[in-house]
Amino acid sequence: MNAETPVCQLLARQDADYRGWLWVAPPRDGWLEGAEGQLLSADQGVLAAWRALGKLAHSPFEGAGPTPPGAVLFWPKSHALGEWWLLWLCAHLPPGTPLQLVGENQGGIKRVLKALAALGLGCRKLDSARRCALYATRLDRVGIDPDEAWTRFEADLGNDTLRLVSHPGVFGHGKLDDGTRLLLEQLRSQLAEGREGVGDVLGNVLDLGCGDGILAAWLARRGARVTAADVSHFAVEATRRTLAANGLEGEVVASDVYSALGESTFDAIVSNPPFHQERSVDYGPAGRLILQAPEHLSPGGQLLLVANAFLPYPDLLERAFGAFEVLADDRRFRVYRAMKG
């Protein structure tokens, strides 16, 4: 099978023998999935696809797996996340292991030169094509614990404060997103007014696309039975740590939208859904979140989500629920509410 993505097309033209190598944080690509090797990824969708093919795949929170003869790191949009992957590989793979780094020029691949130099690792350029570049180095112990990348901060929510734990690559890393703040303000005001139906938010609630866990923690503090889910294993781990930091409980699972939730239903689904996949706009996950929401809501249950005002979600909400309302609109973000009849 021919490579589909520019980064894999660049790799496909190399003379290197990649059999048994570790592919780190790659995109979905049929050429890569058909090759010999093992996967290291924090993306539940990619992990599930590889496992469905019977291939060895694990997340960085599941251990290192079998020792590979080499590794290829697909440089992410977030430079801080790329640095974290480098630290993880240096800490978990034997010194001297060959490492190649590949990425798009617009994605910041050229910045790996400084990142490697800062760690005392040599580097040479192997190839460039399709507006991508490929570099090579060898891993070594660098004396920096990858766990130091976790960020802990307090979110001031007016009359409430939550301790949040975040990680590079997690949505809104290190700060409270303005859209999420608007959604929390609406939840607070609706609960204070005792608006009909909104009290169900404190029942059995799903926080879908949980990020650093701020929605899950805010709801759990008010007595909701919370399930939090995210396609990113970094977000799953961040939410677990956020709940623990605030002395709260909740179930947290890695799930590509509803994929890991089976036939579970909830009194409410809350979300600030993503619409980017790396640098590309991708409405797919948010579309599935909205269109499949009625299947995962109890009768009378509700979907509450916040989104950038320009996103085409009203049509999706009308298709899924027949009707919806806008609870807030500050011209940047809108908070939508739809109920299952």
Averaged pLDDT, 179-205 = 76
Of the candidates 227, 224, 184, the residue with the CA atom closest to the CA atom of residue 208? 227
93-102, 176-185, 307-316, range with greatest mean pLDDT: 93-102
Closest CA to 20 of 96, 93, 91, 71: 71
Question: What local confidence, expressed as pLDDT, does residue 283 receive?
Answer: 65
Per-domain residue ranges for the chain?
Answer: 6-147, 150-339
> How far is Cα 103 from Cα 200, in angstroms, rounded to an integer?
45
Residue-wise pLDDT for 252-301, tens only, equals: 999 999 999 999 999 999 999 876 444 444 567 899 999 999 999 999 99
Residue 194 has pLDDT above 90, yes or no: no
pLDDT on residue 10? 97
Contact indicator for 73, 102 with CB cutoff of 8 Å:
yes
CA angle (297 as vertex; 50, 194 as ends), nearest 5:
135
CA distance 147 to 174: 15
Query: What does the mean pLDDT of the chain come to?
Result: 92
Three-class SS of 192-237: HHCCCCHHHHHCEEEEECCCCCHHHHHHHHCCCEEEEEECEHHHHH
Q: Which residues contact 104 (CB under 8 A, 6 or more apart)?
A: 6, 7, 131, 132, 279
d(CA 264, CA 180): 25
Range list of H helices, the chain: 6-12, 30-33, 44-52, 79-92, 112-118, 178-193, 214-221, 233-245, 284-291, 313-321
Percent of the chain at pLDDT > 70 equals 94
Task: Go through 247-277 and write b for each residue having 16 or more CB atoms within 10 A of its CB, e for each that does not.
Answer: ebebebebbbbbeebeeebbbbbbbbbbbeb
**Cβ–Cβ under 8 Å, residues 242 and 214:** yes
Mean pLDDT throughout 319-339?
A: 96
Which structure tokens are listed for 225?
Answer: 């039975």
pLDDT digits 0-9 by tens, 72-90 = 999 999 999 999 999 999 9
Pairing of strands 266-271, 22-24: unpaired
Query: Could you give phi then psi for residue 51, rounded to 5 degrees?
Result: -65, -35
CATH number, domain 6-147: 3.40.50.150
Tell me the three state secondary structure of residue 287.
Answer: helix
Q: What is the pLDDT of residues 2-59, one digit of tens each?
A: 999 999 999 999 999 999 999 999 999 999 999 889 999 999 999 999 999 999 999 9
Predicted pLDDT at 323? 96
The domain made up of 150-339 has a fold known as Rossmann fold (3.40.50)
Give pLDDT, residue 276.
Answer: 44
Nearest of 182, 178, 181, 177 to residue 166 by alpha carbon: 177
Q: What is the pLDDT of residues 123-175, one digit of tens each?
A: 999 999 999 999 999 999 999 999 999 999 999 887 789 999 999 989 888 88
Alpha-carbon distance of 278 to 58, in angstroms, equals 20
| Predicted pLDDT of residue 171 | 87
Q: How much is the average pLDDT of 235-261?
A: 97
Q: Are 135 and 110 in contact (CB under 8 A)?
A: no
| Residue 198 pLDDT exceeds 80 | no
Nearest by Cα to 229 from 211, 202, 242, 247: 211
Confidence (pLDDT) at 193: 57
* d(C-alpha 177, C-alpha 167), whole Å: 14
Crossing angle of the two packed helices 178-193 and 214-221, in degrees rounded to 10: 20
Model confidence at 200, in pLDDT bands (50, 70, 90)?
Answer: low
Whether the predicted model's global pTM rises above the 0.85 cut: yes
